[in-house]
């Protein structure tokens, strides 16, 4: 088994630490255009061979602004905004219901913003609307992200009673100076109490989010954060890299450059977290998630059966995904479609009866083939040539001659091996998987594109 420090060969990381997409979709959101609409979404749902659906509901509201945040959110103190939002979600659900009546919902995820902005009464209204409109499987996996500052035990019990089984809590960092600099002061003991109450009240799985690269973080402070998180014994941990892009995200202008750890310290923080978590018994999933060895994600990864969608890694195979709410993205068979990013535009489309999907892309056959290859690499570090040839009726190597050519430097550095049966990425190149996958991306010819993505590390 590979030791985590093996990922951190400085020469390799320096050589290949370029900007690259995260490939939550292929083609990536940069290729979205305004040539798709609600009609394309309905057509894709009709044509799709998949009958399993994942629902994503975006709840954009937050009580307070975290300065590092790059999400689509609306900071407000007006709780009644949630009622109006639910009225519009009801309209959107009614609009989508017919096209998805032949699907079974296997997964529901509430993200944001802060889904915990909703009261339990508002959550009850949402779940009731969803269950009336869509056919949920009895064992549908229902998950929700919460902001621990605005949640108590009673609230968690309310969510558990509504059927939520997976909980994701934003911890980020427990150090006070860091919390102050990011405007997110929260109590660690309160989070620990919520985690243990979640277990008692029926949640199967708790995920804790951490961020490295935040202002004032040092190896010493992050060690303390990691120890506190491990003590809470979550089933999963997400470890995100903070990308400081103040030109794109106004809130980040409140974070002074000089507060940020150097590139060298940031790499050391990542290495510290990866080493510490894997030594504690967590398996590294993809590039930035950790799961207990007996967690279904870790088992799926060992079996080469991991999948990836806009909600992250999943074991549930290739479900179609319907996004509901402002800015949410749907991924249905051969199309991606996104709702308006601005709340007033989302409301206006539903009032006027115009298309709620305002941008996205219709995938060509070539896009779909490449998507399969890129997702196999991103999830399982391996592409089965036979699987792709059989599914798409192509001769893999002639079809991908140009891509294989682009793999040459990785092959020469013994990071990738290519044989008649498979393409395999050496585990020590795991942190470079985005860069390796770019070899199969047909849209990356322009240098301009690369500058739009964050650096890999
Ligand atoms: S990090 Fe989460 S809680 Fe904070 S502003 Fe962003 S979406 Fe809201």
* 300 in the same domain as 209: yes
Q: Which residues contact 439 (CB under 8 A, 6 or more apart)?
A: 403, 404, 406, 407, 410
Which are the contacts of 39, defined by CB distance < 8 A and separation ≥ 6? 355
Question: What residues contact 144, with CB distance under 8 A and at least 6 apart?
Answer: 109, 110, 115, 116, 159, 164, 166, 167, 168
* 17 and 55 co-located in one domain: no
Q: What is the DSSP letter of 454?
A: P
Express each pLDDT in 316-326 by its tens digit: 777 899 999 99
Mean pLDDT of the chain: 93
Q: Is the CB of 60 under 6 A from ligand 1?
A: no
CB 317 within 8 A of CB 307: yes
Q: What's 392's DSSP letter? A: H
Same domain, 20 and 40: no
Q: Is 147 in the pocket of ligand 1 (CB under 6 A)?
A: yes
Distance 69 CA to ligand 1 centre (A): 6
Give the pLDDT band of residue 12 (cuts 50, 70, 90). confident
Last residue of a domain, one of 263, 290, 321: 321
**Is the CB of residue 408 less than 8 Å from the CB of residue 5?**
no
Domain holding 259: CATH number? 3.80.30.20
Q: How many CA atoms lie within 13 A of 213 on its CB side?
A: 18
212 C-alpha vs ligand 1 centroid, how far in Å? 16
Pair 234, 312 in one domain: yes
Cα-to-centroid distance, 378 and ligand 1 (Å): 27
- With a 6 A CB cut-off, is 367 part of the ligand 1 pocket? no
User: Residues of the chain with pLDDT > 70: what percent?
Assistant: 96
Which stretches of 132-255 are assigned E, i.e. beta strand?
135-146, 166-172, 205-212, 236-241
**Do 434 and 450 fall into the same domain?**
yes
Gap between the Cα atoms of 228 and 292, Å rounded:
17
Residue 73: phi and psi, rounded to 5, are -145, 165
Q: Specify the number of domains making up the chain.
A: 2
96, pLDDT greater than 90: yes
- The pLDDT of residue 313 is 84
Residue 326 within any structural domain of the chain: no
Report the range of poorest mean pLDDT among 5-19, 36-50, 301-315: 5-19
Nearest atom in ligand 1 to the alpha carbon of residue 112 is 7
Residue range 127-136, pLDDT digits in tens:
999 999 999 9
| Distance separating alpha carbons of residues 427 and 371, to the nearest angstrom | 21
Q: Residues 328-386: pLDDT tens digits?
A: 999 999 999 999 999 999 999 999 999 999 999 999 999 999 999 999 999 989 999 99
Polymer length of the chain: 457
- Two tokens at 224? 């303390």
State if residue 114 touches ligand 1 by the CB under 6 angstroms criterion: yes
Residue 382 pairs in a beta bridge with 424
pLDDT in tens, 427-452: 889 889 999 999 999 998 655 445 55
Question: Residue 279 and residue 128: Cα distance in Å, rounded?
Answer: 43
Whether residue 14 sits in one domain with residue 83: no
Q: Determine the distance separating the centroid of ligand 1 and the alpha carbon of 111, expressed in angstroms.
A: 10
**DSSP secondary structure code for residue 4 in this structure:** G
CA-proximal residue: ligand 1, atom 7 (nearest):
113
* Domain end marker among 254, 289, 321: 321
pLDDT at 456: 60
Six-digit token string for 367: 């896009």
Q: Is 219 among the domain residues?
A: yes
Rounded-to-integer distance, Cα 336 and Cα 334, Å: 7
Q: Does residue 14 register a pLDDT over 90?
A: no
CA of 155 to the centre of ligand 1 (A): 19
CATH code assigned at 383 = 1.10.10.920
pLDDT of residue 345: 98
The reported pLDDT for the residue numbered 275 is: 93
Over residues 235-274, the pLDDT tens digits come to 999 999 999 999 999 999 999 999 999 989 998 999 999 9
DSSP strand E in 147-270: where? 166-172, 205-212, 236-241
Domain identity same for 18 and 50: no
User: What is the reported pLDDT for 315?
Assistant: 81
User: Quick one: DSSP state of residue 261?
Assistant: P
Q: Which atom of ligand 1 is nearest to the CA of 145?
A: 2
**pLDDT of res. 457:** 60
315, part of any domain = yes
pLDDT at position 3? 55
Tokens of 217: 């973080």
Q: To which residue do tokens 């192509």 refer? A: 394
- pTM equals 0.94
pLDDT at 311: 75
Model confidence pLDDT, tens digit, residues 167-216: 999 999 999 999 999 999 999 999 999 999 999 999 999 999 999 999 99
283 lies in the same domain as 139: yes
Distance 182 CA to ligand 1 centre (A): 11
Backbone angles phi, psi at 283, to 5 degrees: -90, 140
Question: In which domain, by residue range, is 110 found?
Answer: 31-321
Examine the domain organization and report whether 141 and 218 are in the same domain: yes
CA 113 – ligand 1 centroid, Å: 5
Task: Look at phi and psi of residue 138 and say left if phi exceeds 0, alpha if psi is from -120 to 50, else beta.
Answer: alpha
- Whether residue 384 contacts residue 420, with contact meaning beta carbons closer than 8 Å, is answered with no
DSSP states along 360-377: EEEPPHHHHHHHHHHHHH
Alpha-helical regions (H) of 332-446: 343-352, 365-380, 385-392, 396-399, 401-406, 408-412, 433-437
Q: Using 50, 70 and 90 to split pLDDT, how confident is the model at 286? A: confident
Helix (H) or strand (E) holding 359: strand 359-362
- pLDDT band per the 50, 70, 90 thresholds, residue 454: low
144 pairs with which residues across the strands?
A: 110, 167
Q: Indicate the pairing of strand 61-62 with strand 74-75.
A: parallel
Same domain? For 48 and 20 the reply is no
* CA–CA distances in Å: residue 397 to residues 152, 309, 370: 56, 27, 13
| For ligand 1, mutation pick of 69, 74, 184 (most atoms within 8 Å of CB) | 69
Integer CA distances (angstroms), 144 to 56, 111, 112, 330, in order = 10, 6, 9, 18
């Amino acid at each position: 088994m590979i030791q985590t420090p093996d990922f951190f060969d400085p020469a390799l990381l320096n050589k290949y630490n370029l900007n690259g997409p995260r490939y939550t979709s292929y083609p990536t959101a940069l290729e979205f255009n305004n040539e798709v609409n609600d009609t394309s979404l309905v057509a894709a749902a009709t044509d799709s061979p998949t009958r399993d659906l994942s629902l994503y509901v975006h709840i954009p509201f937050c009580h307070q602004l975290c300065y590092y945040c790059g999400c689509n959110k609306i900071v407000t103190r007006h709780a009644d905004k949630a009622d109006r939002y639910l009225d519009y979600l009801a309209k959107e659900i009614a609009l989508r219901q017919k096209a998805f009546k032949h699907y079974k919902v296997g997964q529901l995820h509430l993200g944001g913003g802060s889904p915990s902005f909703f009261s339990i009464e508002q959550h009850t209204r949402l779940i009731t609307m969803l269950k009336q409109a869509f056919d949920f499987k009895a064992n549908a996996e229902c998950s929700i992200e919460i902001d621990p500052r605005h949640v108590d035990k009673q609230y968690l019990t309310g969510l558990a009673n509504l059927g939520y089984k997976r909980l994701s809590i934003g911890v980020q960092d427990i150090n006070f100076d860091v919390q102050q600099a990011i405007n997110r002061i929260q109590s660690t003991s309160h989070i620990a109490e919520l985690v243990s109450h979640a277990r008692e009240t029926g949640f199967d799985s708790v995920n804790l989010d951490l961020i490295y690269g935040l202002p004032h973080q040092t190896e010493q402070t992050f060690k303390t954060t990691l120890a506190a998180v491990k003590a809470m014994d979550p089933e999963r941990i997400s470890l995100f890299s903070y990308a400081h892009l103040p030109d794109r995200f106004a809130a980040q202008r409140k974070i002074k450059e000089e507060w940020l750890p150097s590139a060298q310290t940031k790499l050391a923080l990542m290495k510290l977290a990866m080493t510490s978590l894997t030594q504690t018994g967590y398996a590294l999933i993809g590039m930035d998630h950790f799961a207990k060895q007996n967690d279904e994600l870790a088992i799926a990864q060992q079996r080469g059966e991991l999948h990836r969608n806009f909600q992250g890694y999943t074991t549930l195979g290739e479900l179609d995904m319907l996004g509901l709410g402002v800015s949410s993205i749907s991924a249905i068979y051969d199309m991606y479609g996104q709702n308006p990013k601005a709340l007033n535009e989302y409301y206006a489309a539903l009032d006027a009866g115009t298309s709620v999907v305002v941008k996205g892309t219709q995938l060509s056959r070539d896009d779909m083939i490449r998507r399969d290859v890129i997702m196999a690499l991103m999830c399982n570090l391996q592409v089965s040539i036979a699987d792709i040839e059989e599914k798409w009726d192509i001769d893999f190597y002639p079809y991908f001659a140009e891509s294989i050519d682009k793999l040459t430097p990785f092959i020469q550095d013994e990071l990738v091996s290519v044989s008649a049966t498979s393409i395999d990425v050496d585990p020590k190149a795991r942190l470079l998987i985005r860069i390796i996958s770019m070899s199969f991306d047909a849209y990356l010819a322009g240098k301009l594109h690369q500058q739009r993505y964050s650096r890999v590390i």
